[in-house]
Amino acid sequence: MADPNEPTSRKYSVQRFPAVADKDDSDAYGRCATWVQAVSHGFHQQRRDDEYLAKTLAAYQADGRELTGVYVNGVVPEHSLEANVPVATYATMRKDLNIGFGRQLESNLVTAVTVRGTHRRQGILRGMITADLAGAKDDGLAMAALTASEGSIYGRFGFGVATFERSIKVDTGPRFRMKGRPEGTVEVADPTVLLDVAPRVFERVQRLSPGSVDRQEYYRLAASGSLGQDGKPDTSVRCALHYDLSGALDGYVSYRFKGWDHKPYTMEIVDLVAATNAAYLDLWRFLGSIDLIEDVTWAEAPVDDPLAWALEDPRCIEASEVRDMLWLRILDIPAALQARRFASAGRLVLEVTDSLSLAGGTWVLESDGGAAAVVTEASGESADLTMDVADLASIYLGAVSPVTLAAAGRVREKSAGAAFLAQQLFAVERPAHCLTHF
């Protein structure tokens, strides 16, 4: 995993190992538990107790996570953290990404990236991430993805922002009135049903939503209240289910009351998943009808939210600034482009630079607007558009317009109208949105 060309490589050793939840395998379990503690330290979280570690590692094992730790070679200073505690962490798992029109692309998901402050500027992050991306490409994957805690880190490794989200607070007092009529029914349920129901409903959403990433085990546990942030059951979680006109289950919301000492009285959405537009709006009708509640908050709301257009008074919604959510990194340009269905017909010559030399080159993209596109290496042709591989990742799901990137000087238009043609080509059937943090 480490870059053998890094001059500091003799100072550190790198270990990569699968997540193990079996306590009978004491050495492997202990190494994984120590790794989880190091991640918590890196993200300024509390030290984890045994219950949290056991539940977390069981979930990690279910996800098939591969864990990486970077360790100091030799003796560490007296009284400092022991040498078996990694100074840097990194993890991956492989999940499907919806790339538009229902198509799925297996992707390498990067998560739990930390480097202890006392070991920065040693080439550790670059060594971990470049080796991992190269390994994923060697395994035949065309895409990597992550969600970033800081926006300035991953662009230099070829990642580009591909979806956005925002936090909202909805006034559900007397002003809250929705247009139209319900197209199904909502019933309150015991949240533990989501252990079974949540993955099945999300599977439908995964097939329908560009930008969606298949979920890890954690989500059904959190949505059902089986696993709170402290590793213990969250008994404050409630849930409601949506049924369509035929009686089929097609959506759910889990939520918690923020307490009588929180004014105004607020309900917080834990997870809201709807496989149809009707289910989405009906679940909001339900949330807006809860007695004594004045506000409902949601931290993962879409930017292009139909709720605003379904309310008689859209000013009931108070929204945060739009923020980046999913970042993509293309590892194999022909494979990534050929996996897509393009919304219109057209031909573009794309010149793509890549500082890591994983996916650069000049490629001809030809689409007839049908099911398949032809991607070939350009043989001496002049480029219509020139961009970095991070910018290609940003336009890949249609969430960022190439016209905007051209105006920002990030995409260079060599042929008049090429950026607008690219905007049409890379459009997807509905706004890209990702409900899966990792």
Radius of gyration of the chain (CA): 23
Q: Mind telling me the catalytic residues?
A: 154, 438
DSSP H helical ranges for 139-292: 194-208, 218-223, 277-288
Residue 418's closest CA among 430, 399, 397, 401? 401
| C-alpha to C-alpha distance for 114 and 153, rounded to whole angstroms | 12
Give the tokens for residue 126.
């670059």
| C-alpha to C-alpha distance for 105 and 99, rounded to whole angstroms | 7
CB 338 within 8 A of CB 105: no
Query: Cα 410 to the chain's mean position, in Å?
Result: 24
Query: Cα 419 to the chain's mean position, in Å?
Result: 27
Q: Under 8 Å CB-to-CB from 91, ≥6 apart: which residues?
A: 60, 65, 66, 67, 68, 110, 111, 112, 113
| C-alpha to C-alpha distance for 58 and 77, rounded to whole angstroms | 33
Terminal C-alpha separation, the chain: 21
Give the tokens for residue 188.
């309150």
| C-alpha to C-alpha distance for 339 and 344, rounded to whole angstroms | 15
Q: Look at strands 184-189 and 164-171 and give their pairing.
A: unpaired
Side chain identity, residue 58: A
Length of the chain: 438
Q: Which residues on adjacent β-strands are paired with residue 161? A: 327
Q: Running DSSP on this structure, what letter comes out for residue 213?
A: B
CB 196 within 8 A of CB 189: no
| C-alpha to C-alpha distance for 263 and 260, rounded to whole angstroms | 7
